[in-house]
Amino acid sequence: MSGYVLQRLLQAALVMVAMSAIVFVGVYAIGNPVDIVIPPEATQEIRAATIARLGLDLPLWQQYLIFVRNLFDGDLGRSFIYNEPVLSLIAGRLPATLELVLLSVLSATVFGIALGVYAGYRPDSVLAKAIMAVSVLGFSVPTFWIGLILILTFAVNLGWLPAGGRGQTVDLLGVAWSFPTLDGLRHLVLPAVNLALFKFAMMIRLARAGTREVMLGDTIKFARAAGIRESTILRRHLLKLISIPIITVFGLELGSTLAFAVVTETIFSWPGVGKLIIDSIAVLDRPVMVAYLLLTTLLFVVINLTVDLLFALIDPRIRARGAA
């Protein structure tokens, strides 16, 4: 097992090297960040001095080598734009994104599976059809549009919830969180719903498909024949059997939502990492882009690894194969 983990981490390192090189070359091809942000009064001399101070006058390979050398000292560099260490810059925004994403992915999964299992269990009921209709909507309507409609309905017309921002936060373990306060929760609701909708729809469909398939299988037949209560069958047998694809998708969705919650964050003025990375791309803030992509790669690797390990925990067949 440890050999397997090591192999995965090695793969990740390779991907990260390739990723950082691509960002360096890409940004270099677009041009010089200084040209975007320097004020118009700047003389030729001031421009050259600014470029030199950021180390952008060096040849590309030299810039990359400096980056790699610093990386081995645990230093991901400083943002061109904010002149802050990129790690603290990203760490400062991460809690905001984290709580938003966790809330939305978890609630989408819990409600999605519940409704999906019901829709698969009673496929011909009116409620099941209604659930499936909603899920089509969740799939096909673009996130930014739903976000605007949510704001229009619940913030502008009804005035129930705030239209954006993060609201009151409290410090827990040295990090600012907004979910423990009522004001923070009120700010969380709309963006979380917006972000959850697509995942909710997907979870419904996955759970429904899995349920329909498993319900017709031998496991359920034998369990019923053995006289086990229907609710126990659902809980102990059905849920376990449909959980493998759901966990895979959950992991992938968690990662991609953490990394790319940007649309929702922009519409709801949510101060998370998604906004940070988009702003950084707009001004070619290379250190932030590189660090962010490296961390994202690492995140995906860790999540996928966790998912794989979870499989082994849930499915004895996989466990047996791994041990062999």
Partner 1 sequence: MTTFRTPRARRALALILAGLASAAGSAHAQDGTLVMGVRGGPESLDPHYSALGSHAEAAKHIYDTLVWSGDDLQIEPGLATSWEVVDDTTWEFKLREGVKFHDGSDFDAEDVKFSIERIPLVSGPTTTTIYVRRVADVEVIDPLTVRIKTDGPAATLPYDFVRLFIVSSEAAADYSTPETANEGFNGGPAAVGTGPYKLVSWEPKGDLVLERYDEYWRGKGPWAEVIRKEMPNDSSRLAALKAGQVDVINYVSSIDYLALQRDASVEAVVGDSVYVMNLQLDQRDEPPGVRAIDGGALESNPLQDPSVREAIDLAIDRETMVQVVLEGLGKPANQMMPPGFFGSNASIAMPEHDPAKARELLAEAGYPDGFEIDLYCTSDRLPGDGAICQGLGQMLSQVGIRTNVNAISKTVYFPAQGRLEYSVFMNGWGTLTGEASYTLGSLAHSNDPELKLGAYNRVDYANDDVDRLLQEGATELDDDKRRALYEEAMAKTMADKVYISLVQLQTVWAAKANTVTFAPRFDEDTLAFFIQPKN
Residues contributing to the site for partner 1 (CB under 8 A) = 30-47, 49-50, 54, 80-84, 89, 92-93, 148, 151-152, 155-156, 158-166, 176, 182-183, 185-186, 189, 266-269, 271, 275-276, 279, 281-284
Contact partners, residue 259, CB within 8 Å, separation at least 6: 274, 296, 299, 300
Beta bridge partners of 176: 171
Closer CB to partner 1, 208 or 297, in the complex:
208
Counting beta carbons within 10 angstroms of the beta carbon of residue 200, is it exposed (0 to 12), middle (13 to 18) or buried (19 or more)? buried
Q: How far is the CB of 312 from partner 1 (least distance, A)?
A: 33
Closer CB to partner 1, 237 or 275, in the complex:
275
Q: How many residues does the chain have?
A: 324
Q: How far is the CB of 73 from partner 1 (least distance, A)?
A: 15
10 Å Cβ neighbour count for 272? Answer: 25
Q: How far is the CB of 191 from partner 1 (least distance, A)?
A: 11
d(Cα 277, Cα 37) in Å, to the nearest integer?
16
Q: How far is the CB of 86 from partner 1 (least distance, A)?
A: 13
Closer CB to partner 1, 82 or 311, in the complex:
82
Closer CB to partner 1, 1 or 46, in the complex:
46
Q: How far is the CB of 105 from partner 1 (least distance, A)?
A: 21
Closer CB to partner 1, 79 or 297, in the complex:
79
